[in-house]
Amino acid sequence: MPRIEPESGKIKWYKSDGAKSVYASLISILIGLAVGTLVIIIVGLLKSNISPKGIWDGVRLVFLGVFSTGRTDGQLTFGFNPVNMGNMLFRATPLIMTGLSVAVAFKTGLFNIGAAGQYLMGTMGTLSVGLWLGWSSCPSWLAWICAFLTGIVLGALWGAIPGLFKAFLNINEVITCIMTNWIAANLVTWWFDVHEEFKNAAEGGKVGYIIPLKNVDVVTPKLGMDILFPDSQANGGFWIACLIAVLMWVIMTKTTFGFELRACGLNRHAAKYAGINDKRNIVLSMVIAGALASAGGCLYFLSGNTEFYWSTYMSLPADGFNGIPVALLASNHPIGVIFAGMFMSTLNIAGLQLKYLTAYNEYIANIIIATIVYLSAFAMFFKMLLNTKRKKAKEVQIAVTTEEAKPEIESAETDEAAAEAEDAVDDEEEGGQQ
């Protein structure tokens, strides 16, 4: 929300809380990229097989990886690369969904670290139903819808467990989410271990994978993505993710239900006192978060040519955890999540380019992402510092209008501020790629 300066009456959007969140995110991103660059330079200097030119190539790819068009005559070339761009959007799809999941839970004051488990449950439901119906005489559009809905329902039910524990037993949702994550990992592995018919036995050398959905033609339509980005994996799933993000923004900011959720997040007891059913809202928030996270898994595997490695009881999908940095970067704003998700997948693509084109590997992108998460914990602290400073300054000016009696409540993101956040994140998108 634009803050109205008491003395001049002017609106200064760049001083609003939303804008501050964007500054904090930008600083985190810059420091993260700097750390990545530093690692590349130091490792390059220490390793004898990497020349100064190799270091320079690595640094350029970290920033411009998505625009890389490969090597010609030993020189890196840059330009518009439809395959990279399309793959970036494709990889952004699950990140946007898990980011939304974490963001919605954050708004209700819950830390949904269970997105990975919900994502796995969604994947299990989608793949099983998609293959079953694909083999039957069911039309493929109906099979797609059924598979998608099954995945979402399973994820929602899985998300409900931590919600119920939190609402009725007051058990920290972080603990229950971690437990349900690993239970989900085992359940999914068990399910696919027992059901031999889903395993991809036809293609040699692909042990441990589930049959991709393109084999039964249950595939997300391209919706124009194949014209925009030929030869890439991009499909209509990205548009669906964007649509869901906008829908979540409307629900969270324009409806009574969303208001109740946010009220529970700001102060559960005050919300209860105001007549809001806090328990119901906490459970519902986790149900929605679970549905969103699982939708990420559904959309990723409904693209058709992605293959699921089913023996996953030892590890959890990275997309589930990467929802956390996405939500943090976007300050939990649903529209901001779209751009934060795209930024994250841009980093992923840059990492892959590093792997293919230089002596470095793709994990540099993960180092940058982890640094950003670490710094975003600081960012909250810096924002708090800024706010207390301003509050003190205001206490000196005694003319405190009733407007300012509630900055505490409004310090969370409101719509307009976040719309700006979206713009600024957009800017940063472009800024990061130049």
Is the Cβ of residue 58 or residue 432 nearer to another protein in the bound state?
Answer: 58
Cα torsion 352, 354, 356, 357 to 10°: value is: 150
Q: How far is CA 110 from CA 38, 55, 227, 413, 427, in A?
A: 35, 42, 41, 16, 29
Structure tokens at 231: 């030869």
Give CA–CA dist 419/431, Å, rounded. 18
Is the Cβ of residue 219 or residue 375 nearer to another protein in the bound state?
Answer: 375
Q: Which residues of the shown chain bind another protein in the complex (CB under 8 A)?
A: 39, 43, 47, 111, 113, 165, 169-171, 174-176, 178-183, 185-187, 189-190, 193-194, 313-316, 321, 324-325, 328, 360-361, 363-364, 366-367, 369-371, 373-374, 376-378, 380-381
Give CA–CA dist 41/53, Å, rounded. 11
For the CB of residue 178, give the shortest distance to another protein in the complex, in Å: 5
For the CB of residue 228, give the shortest distance to another protein in the complex, in Å: 32
Is the Cβ of residue 131 or residue 185 nearer to another protein in the bound state?
Answer: 185
For the CB of residue 227, give the shortest distance to another protein in the complex, in Å: 36
For the CB of residue 37, give the shortest distance to another protein in the complex, in Å: 14
For the CB of residue 63, give the shortest distance to another protein in the complex, in Å: 18
Is the Cβ of residue 112 or residue 150 nearer to another protein in the bound state?
Answer: 112
For the CB of residue 315, give the shortest distance to another protein in the complex, in Å: 6
Q: Would you list the DSSP string of 194-255?
A: H-GGGB--SSTT-TTBBPPGGGGT-----TTHHHHSTTS---THHHHHHHHHHHHHHHHHHS
Is the Cβ of residue 72 or residue 170 nearer to another protein in the bound state?
Answer: 170
b (16+ CB within 10 A) / e for 284-306: bbbbbbbbbbbbbbbbbbbbbeb
Give CA–CA dist 119/319, Å, rounded. 8
